[in-house]
Amino acid sequence: MGPFDGGVFDKRLQGGRAGAQLTVDAHGVHASTTAGDTFDVPARDCQLELGGASGRMWFCRTPDRQLTIYSEARGFAEALASLPNLSQPVAELRRHRRAESRRGVLFLLAALGMLIALGIAGYFGLDYAGRAAIEALPREADERIGRLAINSMDLGGPTVHDKTVTDAVNAIVARLAEHAPGDFEYQVRVLDAETVNAFALPGGQIVVYTGLIAKAEALDEVAGVLAHEIAHVTQRHGLQRIAQSLGVAGSLELLLGDLGGLSAIAVELMRAGALTSYGRDQEREADEQGVLTMHASGLDADGIARFFQKLQKEQDEMEIPEIFAWMSSHPDLDERIANVRAQIDSLGPVAEQPLEIDWDAVRRAVGPDAEAAGSAAEADATEKAPEQNADSKAGSKAKRRKR
Amino acid sequence: MDTSLDFEISHRPDFALLTIRLAQGQQVFGEPSAMASMDTTIHLKAGLRGGLRRSLGRAFGGESLIVNTFSAKGGPGEVTMAPGVAGDVTHYKLHGQRLMLQRGAFVAHGPGVDITGKWQGARGFFSGEGLVLLQASGHGDLFFNSFGAILELDVADGFFVDTGYVVAFEDTLDYRVTVLPGLGVGSKVKSFLFGGEGLVCRFSGQGKVWIQTRTIHPFLSWVHPYRPQGRGGS
């Protein structure tokens, strides 16, 4: 059979090798080089090997290895296999080669899998490291960022000094703080603005707008909102937001303890209104923690669900008015109401210890006729006017209103 | 017909120059831009030699799609060719065997020789020297270049070469890319990461290997700090 393109190794050749045309017959393998030399390996002497750069080259060697005839031409292996004493070695070598290439493929797949796993582990590892770094930061970091933030913000309304209102809100926060995890110190500000909003900054700065107080029919509703906001503080959601936007380099910086960069980022986020707009998971967590705090404080945790319902109803009834800011970043109210109620059911009955606050008086104090009634907010009324006229601030307000 | 070329390789090994003296009607094929000088009797024609498939193979093997054909049409004449990097040029005579060439090693060949790319799969991937090697086959003269001087070695049993130092090898050799053997896993990882002795080619079987005495990447790293800083904006 043949001819096949191939070659010969032999000392007698110049350079020890030459290309050759091969034929295979019953006597063995024959090669003739272009120069006219001929070589033969008898079939009974032929020792087979499979290899070469391609892994598909067949070598037929004499027992003393002085002469080798080789080829990887198509059909050469079949021709060798047709010789009685070579059919078995050919089959064996082929089996061996197949097993080896299977091993190679498996190794390659394993290596690729490992690379992918390393990539994923690296990604999540950094994410985790960022979170861990946040956990490890002292409480002062939260406080510093909170102070920085509140001082660089346009809060959108004058501070209310009416003791009826501030005492009530302070009492609620004090009760909740007592039963909330962590030992943050809370500073509450009540601001006179129609927006139905409240927000918390890292470290315990809490801002409540009179619009929210006026909207709540019962103390427990406001308490529920405040418990939710306090949960954002205790779970350190603000710093987590910062960690998320830090990226890899920032996380590393944080791990090395560079708080200066952190503050700069906090202020940037503040400008973009991102520090107080939390992710859905964070909202869910704050809801849960808020319910737990309310429950532990002996307050009616259903207040938060009722407040959600109120917002839901208003939302359904009108084209989302600007003043309902507190829910604009709180989507899926139905789902959240259901979650809160399910959690309350699982907690069992609450030993209620209501706060001694005349809520109707508080609401009257922030009501539309509060100024006419001669409340202490009067002093701020003059500041209020330019604030409300400042259309140019509408953009920044809308962002902040995300709570 | 004798297709042998009359050639001379001078200025070895660091700045080797290949001079080919063509008889009337003879041809030689060289990589683009390798030509340093030629007589007026020589005609130069650029083209995709060996068809599109072989040309693409060459392109994947780190060479140009185009091969320049030098023909001594107007009478006998001389062509000199110089490869791009400082180093040696070697001649190899093909008698129907095949030779695998590292990316970019091809300089010139005579009539009867074909150069194309050969897919190396995972070996190429791990060697870091490209997925495709050049393969020369046929009958005739082949010239290839190295970075640094070039050593010709006969492999009988087994031989390790750092992947960066391989210039060419005969395709009768079995080769696989591996880490240096005989070490525990820990030492392997250490020598791989810190020893700088990363992956090696393990040659076995019978055949020749050509290795170069320098590799290009350490040289580039050495040069890099001396490069001028890029001007702003450009």
The answer as to CATH 3.60.20.10 being correct for domain B6-217 is: no
Partner B, chain A 291-310, Cβ-Cβ below 8 Å:
none
CA distance A342 to A338: 6
Query: A13, A17, A66, A103: which to substitute to probe chain B, counting the most B Cβ within 10 Å?
Result: A17
Q: What is the CATH number of the domain that holds A68?
A: 2.30.29
B95 touches chain A (CB under 8 A): yes
**Same domain (yes/no): A143, A88:** no
Under DSSP, is residue A372 helix (H, G, I), strand (E, B) or coil?
coil
Position B20 scores a pLDDT of: 93
- Least CA distance to B139: which residue of chain A? A19
Phi/psi-derived region of residue A343, left when phi > 0, alpha when psi is between -120 and 50, beta in every other case: alpha
pLDDT recorded at residue A385? 39
Q: Whose CA is closest to B201, among B176, B233, B225?
A: B176
Looking at the structure, tell me whether residues A229 and A319 fall in a common domain: yes
Distance in Å, alpha carbon of A52 to nearest chain B alpha carbon: 4
Give me the domain span that covers residue A165: 139-400
Q: What local confidence, expressed as pLDDT, does residue A391 receive?
A: 39
Instruction: Report CB contact under 8 Å: A7, B172.
Output: yes
Please say if the pLDDT value at position B80 is more than 90: yes
Q: pLDDT tier at B232 (50, 70, 90 boundaries)?
A: very low
Q: Which of A152, A137, A153 is nearest to A262 (CA)?
A: A137
d(CA A192, CA A210): 5
Is A148 found in the same domain as A72? no
Mark yes or no for CB contact A7/B139 under 8 Å.
no
B97, A17: Cβ pair inside 8 Å? Answer: yes
Give the distance between the most distant pair of CA atoms in chain B: 66
pLDDT for res A320:
52
Asked if A108 has any chain B CB less than 8 Å from its own CB, the reply is yes
Nearest to A15 by CA among B188, B95, B52: B95
For A124-280, strand residue ranges (E) read 187-191, 198-201, 205-209
What totals of helices (H) and strands (E) does chain A contain, helices first? 14, 10
| pLDDT value at residue B92 | 92
Give per-residue pLDDT as tens, A68-82. Answer: 999 988 889 888 888
Task: Give, for A130, the enclosing helix (H) or strand (E).
Answer: helix A87-136
Domain boundaries, chain B: 6-217
Closest-CA distance, A27 to chain B, in angstroms, reads 24
Interchain pair B96, A6: CB under 8 A: yes
Task: Let me know the angle formed at the C-alpha of B99 by B93 and B103, rounded to the nearest 5 degrees.
Answer: 120
- Contact with chain B for residue A33, Cβ under 8 A: yes
Residues of A in contact with B122 (CB under 8 A): 104, 108
Per-residue confidence (pLDDT) for residue A248, from 0 to 100: 55
* Any A CB within 8 A of B171 CB: yes
> Is A104 in contact with B205 (Cβ distance < 8 A)?
no
User: How many contiguous H segments (helices) and E segments (strands) does chain B have?
Assistant: 4, 17
Identify whether residues A81 and A161 lie together within a single domain: no
pLDDT at position B231: 53
Domain boundary among the residues A43, A76, A97 is at A97
Q: Which of A95-109, A345-359, A371-385 has the lowest mean pLDDT?
A: A371-385
Q: Smallest CA–CA separation between B105 and chain A, in Å?
A: 18
- In B, minimum Cα distance to A15 occurs at B93
Three-class SS of residue B51?
Answer: helix
Residues A232 and A335 in one domain: yes
Please give the residue of chain A at the shortest CA–CA distance from B137: A19
Interchain CB contact of A68 with B (< 8 Å): yes
Residue B157 with chain A: CB contacts under 8 Å: none
In this structure, the answer to whether residues A383 and A263 fall within a common structural domain is yes
| pLDDT band, residue B151 (cuts 50/70/90) | very high
Same domain, A369 and A307: yes
Comparing C-alpha atoms, which of A22, A36, A116 is closest to residue A75?
A22
Give the pairing of strands A187-191 and A205-209.
parallel
CB-defined contacts A:B, below 8 A: 60
| Adjacent-strand bridge partners of B8 | B19
pLDDT per position as a tens digit, A89-108:
899 999 998 898 888 788 88
Q: Do the beta carbons of residue A33 and residue A3 sit within 8 Å?
A: no
- What is each CA distance from A35 to A2, A8, A13, A31, in whole angstroms? 19, 12, 10, 11
CA distance B45 to chain A (A): 30
Residue A53 forms contact with B (CB below 8 Å): yes
User: pLDDT tier at A241 (50, 70, 90 boundaries)?
Assistant: confident
A19 part of contact set with chain B, CB < 8 Å: yes
Task: Please name the amino acid found at residue A265.
Answer: I
Q: What is the pLDDT of residues B44-72, one digit of tens each?
A: 888 777 677 777 777 777 777 778 899 99
What is the per-residue pLDDT for A258? 57
- Rounded CA gap, A84 and A60, in Å? 15
Of the listed ranges B2-16, B76-90, B110-124, B219-233, the least confidently predicted one is: B219-233
| Count of other CB atoms within 10 angstroms of residue A161 | 15
Question: In chain B, which residues have their Cβ closer than 8 Å to the Cβ of A5?
Answer: 96
**Is the predicted ipTM greater than 0.85, yes or no?**
no
Q: Is A10 on the interface with B (CB under 8 A)?
A: no
Closest residue of chain B to A8, computed from CA coordinates: B97
Q: Which of A7-16, A366-375, B74-83 is predicted with the least confidence, judged by mean pLDDT?
A: A366-375
Angle made by CA atoms A114, A117, A123, in degrees to the nearest 5: 140
Which residues does residue A25 pair with via DSSP β-bridges, in sequence order?
A28
Are B171 and A9 a contacting pair at CB < 8 A?
no
pLDDT of A400 above 50:
no
A402 pLDDT higher than 60: no
Chain A contact present for B188, CB below 8 A: no
How many structural domains is chain A composed of?
A: 2
Place of tokens 């020589």: B42
Q: Which of B157, B159, B144 is nearest to B113 (CA)?
A: B144
pLDDT of residue A364: 84
**Tokens 């095949």 — which residue?**
B98
* Residue A144 sits in the same domain as residue A93: no
Q: Which of A41, A71, A97 is the C-terminal boundary of a domain? A: A97
User: By the CB < 8 Å criterion, does B50 face chain A?
Assistant: no
Helices of type H across chain B = 51-60, 121-127, 185-193, 216-223
Residues of A whose CB is below 8 A from B173: 51-53
Q: Does the beta-carbon distance from A18 to B96 stay under 8 Å?
A: yes
> d(Cα B11, Cα B220) in Å, to the nearest integer?
23
**The token pair that represents A62 in the structure block:** 């004499």
The pLDDT assigned to B152 comes to 92
A61-to-A8, A82, A130, B58, B100 alpha-carbon distances in Å: 10, 17, 64, 33, 23
Q: Any idea what DSSP says for residue A184?
A: P
Q: Are residues A90 and A153 in the same domain?
A: no
List, edge to edge, every strand of the sheet that includes B158-162: B158-162, B199-205, B173-179
Q: Nearest CA to CA, how far is B41 from chain A (Å)?
A: 32
For A305-371, the DSSP string reads: HHHHHHHHHHHHHSS--TT-GGGTT---HHHHHHHHHHHHHHH-----------HHHHHHHHSTTTT
How do residues B85-131 score in pLDDT, each as one tens digit? 889 999 998 888 889 888 888 899 998 888 888 777 666 665 656 66
Does residue A395 surpass a pLDDT of 70? no
Domain boundary residue among A80, A97, A114? A97
A19/B95 touch (CB, cutoff 8 Å), yes or no: yes
- Is the model more confident about B46 or about A22? A22
Minimum CA–CA partner of A51 in chain B: B174
d(C-alpha A120, C-alpha A168), whole Å: 50
Comparing B30 with A386, the larger pLDDT belongs to B30
A156 with A35, same domain? Answer: no
Is B220 in a helix, a strand, or coil? helix
Q: Are both A216 and A89 inside the same structural domain?
A: no
Q: Do A87 and A149 have their domain in common?
A: no
